[in-house]
Structure 1
Amino acid sequence: MAGARSGAAEAPAAGEKKKVVPVNIGVIGCGAWGRDTVKTLAQLPSARVLGVAEHYEPFLNRAKEAAPNAEGYSDYKQLLANKEIKAVVICTPTHQHKQVVMEALAAGKHIYCEAPLANSIDEAREIVKAAKAHVGQVFQPGLQHRSDPQRHFLLGFIRSGAAGRIFKARSQWHKKESWRRTSPNAEREQEVNWRLRGNVSLGLVGEIGLQHLDNASWFLKAEPVAVSGYGSIQLWSDGRDVADTAQVTVEYPENVLVNFEATLANSFDGDHEVYYGSDSGVMVRKNKAWMFREADAPLLGWEVYARKDAFYNELGIALVANATKLVAQGEKPAEEAPYANTPLFYGLEAFLHNTRTVADGVADFAENFDIKDTKALAEYVDSLHGALMPAATAIEGFRATVLAIKANEAVVKQQRIPLSKEWFAL
């Protein structure tokens, strides 16, 4: 089963406590992101971390600190051989994803694979085709925002037309850091700094911008038609061949333009997105969002009661989930955004819930029908979608990866690339 469709899990009856049966899970790759993943899983009652795999011993030891009951493996193949572990999160470098995914699928594991799925379209396509062929195994790409409840609230708001016609968007990621990691071992330092090597790295727009660009495609409900890119090394002239400052403009149908820019040379104004509509602009910063109304925009009604925040000489109306309902009940909307966890938390939460739901469903099917009847099994698994939490599908992960690859290519070549529909097709 390659991903989950957008939907909400069925709620337990009033007064009934839903028993959480944790999923036995392992994490493969214990760099900085892998260790964050282990820490996040430790916060989720639906996860039982039984294994962590990393061939670099210091990273492995640090990961085990967050999961003291987990077995440490220097070879991920040993983790995959552990039949108690039912699911894995793949946090290896992008160019190593394919081999690990293929072996994890063959081992019968449910998979959460970080995005981008691969650093080439061919390998990303092979991954998704293989995932779709393994009926009854969850495969979820790491597009965490597609599981974030605040993003789902904003999705409905933007698509409802409340901001008018969205005609452009821009987003940025600014962080002053080198991206370089140090190691006393020269070979290890080369390995750990894979993001600085153009032969394997998708650069800032691929490794970071992928999430931003996927948000835009999702909110706009549109497929990109072309991408232009520019990039250069502005600060970190240390032998790398990946730009430390880059920007891309993605063209969508009806002349809608989305701009993403990133830099490792300056941290001012951080990480945010802005969607521009004919009636309002919408700014998103982490788990909070604001609407900036045009003077001639029609009244929606609820904004009269909403909290207002000043931004220089503009007044932003806080977009808070369920604010309209709260006002109608005579209650004051929360001052802070109601969803305080990270997108990674929500992505993993959805993966664990969907894995448990599908695994239980497959077990029920096997008790009553022929498990070798893959067509019937696929139909049965498909019938479970109403009970799944929102999560990115395999095809959504593939399309986001294709755009990331071509956006990086545009930066490297400093040119405009028309996007062929064939690239986005399996």
Structure 2
Amino acid sequence: MSEQNSGMQWNRRDFLRGSSLAALATLLGGVRLVRPAASAAETAAPGGERVKVGLIGLGQWGRDLLDQLLRLPAAEVAAICDNYAPMVRRSAKKVPDAVATEDYRAVLDNKDISAVVVATPTHRHKEIVLAALEAGKHVYCEVPLAHTLEDAREIAQAALKRVRQVFQSGLQLRSDPQRRFLLPFIRSGALGHMALVRAQWHAKTSWRLSSPNPEREAEINWRLSPEISPGLLGEVGIHQIDQVSWFLNQWPTTVHGFGSVAFWRDGRQVADTVQAVLEYPDGVRLLYSATLANSYEADAEVYYGSDAAVLIRGSSAWMFKEADAPLLGWEVYARKDAFYKATGISLRADASKLKSQGSQPEAQTEAADPPVYFALEAFLRNCREISNAVRDFESLYGDTDPKALAEYLTKEARRLPAADALDGYRATVLALKANESVVRRQPVSLSPEMFELS
């Protein structure tokens, strides 16, 4: 997901956090799922020096990442890079004090820069990421990690060897407090027996970009080149498909992909509309669709269980109970939202307290922070945490025992939740195999070994 259209932004709202396991169990009935306010420790700005970051890739998505980095107190954007000079000049206006270059090696050679964010086109990731790791930088790499399984494996294996460095895959939903709040709901069995999952991403946008320079136009339309494009399932679907596998805590065994150029018939060979059916071990199937032809209903995921369903749409989530689901009793206090022929019961952690005081819950407000904000925040915090922990270890024990260092970091470093190299590799495998099924027009089997790094 290197240079995405503006319609591909992820919105989020802080969900109210559950205060106890008992509260979680009680609130699993047919509700609007809202993460509680974060604790002071979570929301406090981290102390210490800011992380000096180099951003490589200044297409549309790269510029969005720049905007988020500039909002983060822990970030100092020290360098920006793109191989196209007008892109560099455009972004340099936002960070006039940063080094601006067309050569990524100038960023990696800068000893003051400790971390890089790689937001180039997918097929350019490998060269830059491997060089960044070799230069000792912490790396945030957008997903998919690469446009081939071989390149993705090489990136992940190199990252896992670098215990002194943070490598974070750009699976932003894994850092989103909303999704992390929903994770125990989905996994707990509160929905009853899981039957199926449906997810979609719909946005009317062509993906085709224009330029007065024919060579430049061909370069920026890499997503429409079948030789290097991971397609809609790789560039967009990877996030939602990974979220489903993460929530279900298992990987699919087969993917059936379908695709066509349904609307943008401009000579392209990469499908503008795709569907995928992913079969999971317990008989659960994910039905996924993505299209560039229509924006209706935008992006959403629905988890269907025998007792209830959970709908995640944009920055909100609701639970819809079946008529024969167990009655929990708390429902009388919750706000209810109408959805066609169904009613979603709004969940607030303070609903019972407000009711007893004779008050009505106020409408929830939308937070301005998208999941990528939290992903980058986690990256910066983890960079500083790991760097400090490495210095502490080496001051006490020296730098000759990498195994002991790895164990020390696992135990002592307090990392924020984020997708690591293995997470990124597995998501990339699944997305590329799903796209392969679309291209080949036949099912693709997925063995457990495919998701492991030898």
TM-score (structure 1 length as normaliser) = 0.92
Give the SS at the match of 1:66: coil
Corresponding residue for 2:302?
274
Matches within 5 A, 1:79-98: 79-98=107-126
How far apart, CA to CA, are the structure 2 residues paired with 1:190 and 1:17? 43
Corresponding residue for 1:256?
284
Contact 1:358–1:384 at 8 Å: present in 2 too? no
Q: Structure 1's 63 and 244: CA in aligned 2 closer, same or farther, altered over 3 A?
A: same
Please report how far the alpha carbon of residue 339 of structure 1 lies from its aligned counterpart in structure 2 after TM superposition. 4.8
Gaps of 5+ in 1: 1-9
Corresponding residue for 2:199?
171
Contact 2:333–2:355 at 8 Å: present in 1 too? no
How far apart, CA to CA, are the structure 1 residues paired with 2:141 and 2:167? 7
Please report how far the alpha carbon of residue 65 of structure 1 lies from its aligned counterpart in structure 2 after TM superposition. 2.7
Residue from 178, 197, 203 that aligns with 1:150: 178
Contact 1:326–1:332 at 8 Å: present in 2 too? no
Residue 402 in structure 1 maps to residue 429 in structure 2? yes
Please report how far the alpha carbon of residue 384 of structure 1 lies from its aligned counterpart in structure 2 after TM superposition. 2.8
Please report how far the alpha carbon of residue 180 of structure 1 lies from its aligned counterpart in structure 2 after TM superposition. 0.6
Contact 2:52–2:115 at 8 Å: present in 1 too? yes
Q: Structure 1's 326 and 120: CA in aligned 2 closer, same or farther, altered over 3 A?
A: farther
Residue from 198, 204, 207 that aligns with 2:232: 204
Q: Structure 1's 205 and 18: CA in aligned 2 closer, same or farther, altered over 3 A?
A: closer
Corresponding residue for 1:290?
318
Corresponding residue for 1:300?
328
Residue 110 in structure 1 maps to residue 138 in structure 2? yes
How far apart, CA to CA, are the structure 2 residues paired with 1:423 and 1:40? 34
Corresponding residue for 1:69?
97
Code of the aligned partner of 1:231? G
How far apart, CA to CA, are the structure 1 residues paired with 2:352 and 2:402? 45
Residue 125 in structure 1 maps to residue 153 in structure 2? yes
Q: Structure 1's 247 and 337: CA in aligned 2 closer, same or farther, altered over 3 A?
A: farther
Code of the aligned partner of 1:420? S
Write out per-residue CA displacement over residues 136-175 of structure 1, whole angstroms, 9 at most, x where no aligned residue: 1000100111111111111111222222222211111111
Paired residues, number: 414
Q: Structure 1's 339 and 306: CA in aligned 2 closer, same or farther, altered over 3 A?
A: farther
Contact 1:279–1:294 at 8 Å: present in 2 too? yes
Contact 1:121–1:401 at 8 Å: present in 2 too? yes
Residue from 150, 170, 184 that aligns with 2:212: 184
Residue from 344, 349, 353 that aligns with 1:316: 344
Residue 412 in structure 1 maps to residue 442 in structure 2? no
Give the SS at the match of 2:93: helix
Contact 1:149–1:339 at 8 Å: present in 2 too? no
Residue from 34, 39, 42 that aligns with 2:67: 39
How far apart, CA to CA, are the structure 2 residues paired with 1:383 and 1:328? 43
Q: Structure 1's 259 and 94: CA in aligned 2 closer, same or farther, altered over 3 A?
A: same
Quote the sequence identity (%): 51
How far apart, CA to CA, are the structure 1 residues paired with 2:352 and 2:55? 40
Gaps of 5+ in 2: 1-37
Contact 1:38–1:67 at 8 Å: present in 2 too? no
Contact 1:12–1:18 at 8 Å: present in 2 too? no
Q: Structure 1's 388 and 165: CA in aligned 2 closer, same or farther, altered over 3 A?
A: same
Contact 2:45–2:73 at 8 Å: present in 1 too? no
Give the SS at the match of 1:182: coil
Code of the aligned partner of 2:101? Y
Corresponding residue for 2:17?
none
Moved more, 238-247 or 54-63: 54-63
Write out per-residue CA displacement over residues 104-147 of structure 1, whole angstroms, 9 at most, x where no aligned residue: 00111001100111111111111111001111100010011111
How far apart, CA to CA, are the structure 1 residues paired with 2:41 and 2:86? 47
Code of the aligned partner of 1:393? D
TM-score (structure 2 length as normaliser) = 0.87
Write out per-residue CA displacement over residues 211-269 of structure 1, whole angstroms, 9 at most, x where no aligned residue: 01001001111111100000000111112110000010100011100011001111111
Q: CA RMSD in A?
A: 2.1
Please report how far the alpha carbon of residue 70 of structure 1 lies from its aligned counterpart in structure 2 after TM superposition. 1.5
Corresponding residue for 2:412?
384
Please report how far the alpha carbon of residue 275 of structure 1 lies from its aligned counterpart in structure 2 after TM superposition. 0.7
Please report how far the alpha carbon of residue 396 of structure 1 lies from its aligned counterpart in structure 2 after TM superposition. 1.1
Code of the aligned partner of 1:417? V
Contact 1:288–1:337 at 8 Å: present in 2 too? no
Write out per-residue CA displacement over residues 380-415 of structure 1, whole angstroms, 9 at most, x where no aligned residue: 111134x11111121111111000000000111111
Please report how far the alpha carbon of residue 49 of structure 1 lies from its aligned counterpart in structure 2 after TM superposition. 0.6
Code of the aligned partner of 1:176? K
Residue 422 in structure 1 maps to residue 449 in structure 2? yes
Please report how far the alpha carbon of residue 327 of structure 1 lies from its aligned counterpart in structure 2 after TM superposition. 5.5
Please report how far the alpha carbon of residue 67 of structure 1 lies from its aligned counterpart in structure 2 after TM superposition. 2.4
Matches within 5 A, 1:198-237: 198-237=226-265
Please report how far the alpha carbon of residue 376 of structure 1 lies from its aligned counterpart in structure 2 after TM superposition. 1.6
Code of the aligned partner of 2:439? V
